[in-house]
Amino acid sequence: MTRPLPGILAMAAIVVASNILVQFLFGQWLTWGAFTYPLAFLVTDVMNRVYGVAAARSVVFTGFVVGVACSFVGTQITGEFGPLVTLRIALGSGLAFLTAQLLDVAVFDRLREGRWWRAPLASTLIGSTVDTALFFTIAFSAWLSVIEPANDVGWANEALPLLGLGPVVPLWMSLAVADWAVKLALALIALVPFRLIVGRLMAQIA
């Protein structure tokens, strides 16, 4: 447990920071949390490369527990429109995080023998896509209103042009696409710190 401890602490910090920053808007389609949360995939991939699958999974489960705790705290805080975290948001966040991160670990492990960039890039792209699809669908789609009937998500289902330009879709789909685009961009950018951090940790171990 000692070796992946920095990864566990980093994951916990990212989850806490993202849960706080998601309350603040960045433009029309994003929150500040969209820029911190994708770093969770970087932490998982570094742990996977340096310490292996078991260490990566321990980091993921730590992030999940911290996320559940943050969601619980959020449900106890009432904002202008009710609790800061609804049941659907808590459920979507937890399921999306755990599913996407464990998928990231599995894909990375399958591709770890290829070129150095292949495993982190492919695992992060796949994990990020699943994470976005699960979270926004569970948290905001009208199709799943049965999960929490008292939670009015009408605002998220307002019909608007996709990102203000494309076909008319529910608002939450624009939010999802914007979030997904940030994750994809950061997946590419994160290859640089991934390479540097892995190199440094491997040198320390050798």
> CA angle at residue 61 from 55 to 63, to 5 degrees?
105
Domains of the chain from N-terminus onward: 5-205 (1.10.1760)
Model confidence pLDDT, tens digit, residues 88-141: 999 999 999 999 999 999 999 999 998 999 999 999 999 999 999 999 999 999
pLDDT at 4: 80
Q: Minimum mean pLDDT among 1-10, 18-27, 65-74, 86-95: which range? A: 1-10
| Residue at 23: amino acid letter | Q
Assigned token pair, 78: 């009432």
Dihedral over Cα of 134, 139, 143, 144: its sign: positive
pLDDT given at position 5: 87
What would the mean pLDDT of 63-74 be, rounded to a whole number? Answer: 92
Contact partners, residue 193, CB within 8 Å, separation at least 6: 42
Three-class SS state of 79:
strand
171 with 163: CB under 8 angstroms?
no
User: Distance of CA 15 to CAs 33, 91, 159, 164, 199, Å?
Assistant: 9, 15, 31, 30, 25
- In the prediction, which pLDDT does 72 show? 85
Instruction: Report d(CA 171, CA 168) in Å as an integer.
Output: 9
Residue 107 tokens, joined = 């894909």
CA distance 182 to 150: 31
- The phi and psi torsions of 159 (rounded to 5 degrees) equal -80, 115
Q: Which residue has the higher pLDDT, 81 or 175?
A: 175
Q: Convert the pLDDT of each residue in 126-152 to its tens digit.
A: 999 999 999 999 999 999 999 999 899
